[in-house]
């Protein structure tokens, strides 16, 4: 099948940083200033369409944590995905974005009392929402609050995968009930709740063969467990998300159809519906971060390009040593300016050595005022931003037009001090 016949020409599996329209990014930076997140909900819609085509019989849920912005949530809802939420706050955002209760799952990990109180309260108006529970204590705490609705049991499959040890949740004891106790927990839960599903998640950024093999192991284990507890007594078996995207310029894109086929095969014969809950795959390549070079410092080893975005805007390089593609929009091939290259360290304004977006990477030698674009910033970008060093959070705009999240001000950062409070 040619790329055109498969629809790949219109909806390629990855939008690379080089595919973004430089002129448009420049316009947005000069209109709104930097640092600036640019998000393209149209690309989110394409990613949802590709997932739905790959998993036509499955319940595809979007892991809201990857990008919680209203425009993204509305796009995902319209595209027919459900919402998997990691906190009461995410449940609220999903409901506010128009997801009906039957399309909302709350995955409760050591849930704070305030979260349980809020979700049980909203359950009154949305009796079809589902709470995913990873410990007997959470079942007890729900029952204490009068909840007797839909419950999904999260299992620790003992199999982890992902781009960094900090995101390989599958084998970490923190998550889910141990596999060999899961059937007992399901039996107990059935006495008080409507047990509608099983859940497990290997981790985030599943990309290479090893990760894919771990994902298949997890799925196979979940298929076995479903048959053990009665696969026609539950509605779904959720095998998590984690589908990776290529961060390096020459990384291949994941063949999502092949992953879907392998998932179905590993699950085996199960009457319940297969469910998946990707986040990154939906939003990563729908966002870039724009940042301006404000300092250029030659050193014997590298040229340091000091920029106005830092780990407070995009934490992933500092937290996971994550690689993000970087383009100097003022020194592209064909641009007037010189494009001599050399080892460049792109460093932010934060007082930590880890506050760099790359170290000694071969890039065009920048000049003060150059505009840099950082790729795959749509997933876990704005979401992990903080106000450390009293740095207000950046703005976010839609590629085509409006401001999605206004730039935070210093008054915003200090608003809760000295008697200030959120209503």
Ligand X SMILES: N[C@@H](CCCC[NH3+])C(=O)O
In the annotated binding site for pyridoxal 5'-phosphate, the residues are 242, 277-280, 380
How open is the CA angle 60-250-293, to the nearest 5 degrees? 95
316 binds, among ligand X, ligand PLP, none (CB under 5 to 8 A by kind): ligand X
* Site for ligand X contains 281 (CB under 6 A): no
Residue 278 Cβ vs ligand PLP, minimum distance, rounded to whole Å: 4
371 binds, among ligand PLP, ligand X, none (CB under 5 to 8 A by kind): none
* Site for ligand X contains 51 (CB under 6 A): no
Q: How far apart are CA 243 and CA 280, in angstroms?
A: 7
Instruction: State both tokens at 238.
Output: 């959720």
Residues at the binding site for substrate are 280, 316, 320, 352, 380
Residue closest to 172 by CA, chosen among 134, 212, 222: 134
In the complex with ligand PLP, the residue whose CB is nearer, 267 or 395, is 267
CB-side neighbour CA atoms (13 Å) of 76: 34
Where along the sequence are the contacts to ligand PLP (CB under 6 A)? 63, 66, 84, 107, 167, 169, 201, 204-205, 240-243, 277-281
E-only strand ranges, 17-120: 36-39, 59-63, 82-85, 104-108
Residue 261 Cβ vs ligand PLP, minimum distance, rounded to whole Å: 18
CB-side neighbour CA atoms (13 Å) of 126: 23
* Distance (Å) of CA 88 to CA 131, 155, 346: 11, 21, 36
- The residue length of the chain stands at 423
CA torsion sign, 66 to 68 to 71 to 73? positive
* Site for ligand X contains 68 (CB under 6 A): no
Q: How far apart are CA 89 and CA 274, in angstroms?
A: 26
Which SS3 state, helix, strand or coil, does residue 82 take?
Answer: strand
Residue 163 Cβ vs ligand PLP, minimum distance, rounded to whole Å: 9
Residue 154 Cβ vs ligand PLP, minimum distance, rounded to whole Å: 8
The site that binds ligand X (CB under 6 A) totals a number of residues, namely 7
* Site for ligand X contains 169 (CB under 6 A): yes
In the complex with ligand PLP, the residue whose CB is nearer, 28 or 64, is 64
Residue 380 Cβ vs ligand PLP, minimum distance, rounded to whole Å: 7
308 binds, among ligand PLP, ligand X, none (CB under 5 to 8 A by kind): none
Which SS3 state, helix, strand or coil, does residue 272 take?
Answer: coil
* Site for ligand X contains 331 (CB under 6 A): no
266 binds, among ligand X, ligand PLP, none (CB under 5 to 8 A by kind): none
**Is residue 351 among the annotated active site residues?**
yes
Q: How far apart are CA 293 and CA 310, in angstroms?
A: 12
In the complex with ligand PLP, the residue whose CB is nearer, 111 or 242, is 242
Which SS3 state, helix, strand or coil, does residue 409 take?
Answer: coil
Q: Binding to ligand X (CB under 6 A): which residues in 173-212?
A: 204-205
In the complex with ligand PLP, the residue whose CB is nearer, 41 or 240, is 240
| Residue in 85, 152, 351, 358 annotated catalytic | 351
Residue closest to 58 by CA, chosen among 272, 284, 217, 212: 272
Q: Which helix H or strand E contains 88, and what residues bound it?
A: helix 88-96
Instruction: Tell me which residues are annotated as active site.
Output: 351
Binding residues vs ligand X (CB under 6 A): 167, 169, 204-205, 316, 320, 380
């Amino acid at each position: 099948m040619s790329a055109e016949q498969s629809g790949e020409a219109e909806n390629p599996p990855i939008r690379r940083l080089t595919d973004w329209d430089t002129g448009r990014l420049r316009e947005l930076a000069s209109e709104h200033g930097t640092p600036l997140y640019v998000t393209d909900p149209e690309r989110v819609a394409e990613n949802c369409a590709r997932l739905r085509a790959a998993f036509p019989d499955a319940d595809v849920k979007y892991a809201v944590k990857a990008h919680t912005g209203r425009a993204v949530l509305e796009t995902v809802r319209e595209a027919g995905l459900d919402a998997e939420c990691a906190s009461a706050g995410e449940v609220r955002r999903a409901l506010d974005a128009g997801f009906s209760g039957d399309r909302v799952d709350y995955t409760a990990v050591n849930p704070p009392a305030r979260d349980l109180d809020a979700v049980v309260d909203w359950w009154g108006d949305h009796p079809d929402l589902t709470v995913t529970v990873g410990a007997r204590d959470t079942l007890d705490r729900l029952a204490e609050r009068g909840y007797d609705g839909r419950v999904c049991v999260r299992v620790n499959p003992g199999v982890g995968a992902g781009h960094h040890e900090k995101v390989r949740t599958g084998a970490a004891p923190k998550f889910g009930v141990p596999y060999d106790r899961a059937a007992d927990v399901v039996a107990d839960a059935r006495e008080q709740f409507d047990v509608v599903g099983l859940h497990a998640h290997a981790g985030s950024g599943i990309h290479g063969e090893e990760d894919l093999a771990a994902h298949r192991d997890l799925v196979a284990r979940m298929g076995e467990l479903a048959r053990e507890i009665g696969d026609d007594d539950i509605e779904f078996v959720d095998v998590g998300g984690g589908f990776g995207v290529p961060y390096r310029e020459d990384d291949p894109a994941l063949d999502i159809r092949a992953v879907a086929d392998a998932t179905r095969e590993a699950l085996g014969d199960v009457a319940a519906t297969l469910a998946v809950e990707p986040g990154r795959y939906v939003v990563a390549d729908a966002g870039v971060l724009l940042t301006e070079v404000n300092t250029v410092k030659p050193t014997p080893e590298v040229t340091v390009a000091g920029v106005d975005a830092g780990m407070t805007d995009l934490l992933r390089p500092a937290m996971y040593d994550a690689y993000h593609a970087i383009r100097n929009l003022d020194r592209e091939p064909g641009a007037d300016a010189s494009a001599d290259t050399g080892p460049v360290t792109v460093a932010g304004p934060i007082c930590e050595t880890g506050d760099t977006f790359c170290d000694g990477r071969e890039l065009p030698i920048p000049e003060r005022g150059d505009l840099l674009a950082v790729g795959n910033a749509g997933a876990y970008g704005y979401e992990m931003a903080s106000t450390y060093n009293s740095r207000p959070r950046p703005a976010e705009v839609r590629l085509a037009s409006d401001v999605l999240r206004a730039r935070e001000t210093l008054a915003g950062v200090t608003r809760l001090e000295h008697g200030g409070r959120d209503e």
